[in-house]
A and B are shown apart, each in its own frame.
Chain A
Amino acid sequence: EPEVTQTPSHQVTQMGQEVILRCVPISNHLYFYWYRQILGQKVEFLVSFYNNEISEKSEIFDDQFSVERPDGSNFTLKIRSTKLEDSAMYFCAKALAGSSYEQYFGPGTRLTVT
């Protein structure tokens, strides 16, 4: 299974602060995704990223969110001004090219907004 690492594992921030969550796919893949999971709720799609551009985004992914691949390897999700309701697990995923393009999830970053 392809490996995806995420940093930090846990981030605590105050409301209104900016946070940057990082994802490092170990091998080269074309498709990357960010999902979030609020405690006790379902996994929700945020954004997909293909060929260094946003491919698709959900209604959750508003102007407070942005994604970048700043150096060709790391893949970041930035929340500009965090709100209490942004507290969740944030998962980076990548798709393995092939017949099914199954998505493999990183271990996640637990974001706590106080």
Chain B
Amino acid sequence: GQNIDQPTEMTATEGAIVQINCTYQTSGFNGLFWYQQHAGEAPTFLSYNVLDGLEEKGRFSSFLSRSKGYSYLLLKELQMKDSASYLCAVRDAGGSQGNLIFGKGTKLSVKP
């Protein structure tokens, strides 16, 4: 079966660093994505990993270990606007155009 696990909620302080973990067990794997979703809005693309290691993009970094079925999203210098849900998604097998399998999302609350 397809299973993607991430914590339901997290709280962090403005200016701090937070790490959101994601573990996955899927029948196929062709990349892992992180999306940000503010309440009532569409998911917006944050990062993509297909090889093991760390990808850095400004205040956001994402890490992947394929052997462990594990990824994390690291957010630095947290801002109030970072309060949102963060969705971990695995692209199923089927080439680069395969559909995404989403986790339930982690709701991050940033406090002053």
Contact = CB atoms under 8 A, between A and B. Distances in A.
The B interface is mostly helix, strand or loop, or mixed, namely loop
A103 interface: yes
Contact of A103 (B41, B100, B103): B100
A91 B100 CA distance: 13
Interface in A34-68: 35, 41-45, 48, 50, 55-56, 58
Nearest to B47: A102
A42 B98 contact: no
A111 to B, nearest CB: 14
A50 B96 contact: no
Task: Sort chain B's interface into a size bin.
Answer: 20 to 34
Interface string A99-113: 011111111100000
A56 B98 contact: yes
A41 B97 contact: no
Nearest to B104: A42
Contact of A107 (B31, B42, B94, B103): B42
Interface in B1-48: 31, 33, 35, 41-45, 48
Contacts of A103: 33, 45, 100
Interface of A: 1, 30-31, 33, 35, 41-45, 48, 50, 55-56, 58, 91, 95, 100-108
20 contacts: A1-B45, A30-B97, A33-B100, A41-B104, A42-B102, A43-B102, A44-B102, A45-B100, A45-B101, A48-B97, A48-B99, A56-B98, A56-B99, A58-B99, A91-B43, A101-B96, A102-B48, A105-B42, A105-B45, A108-B41
Interface of B: 31, 33, 35, 41-45, 48, 50, 87, 89, 91, 94, 96-105
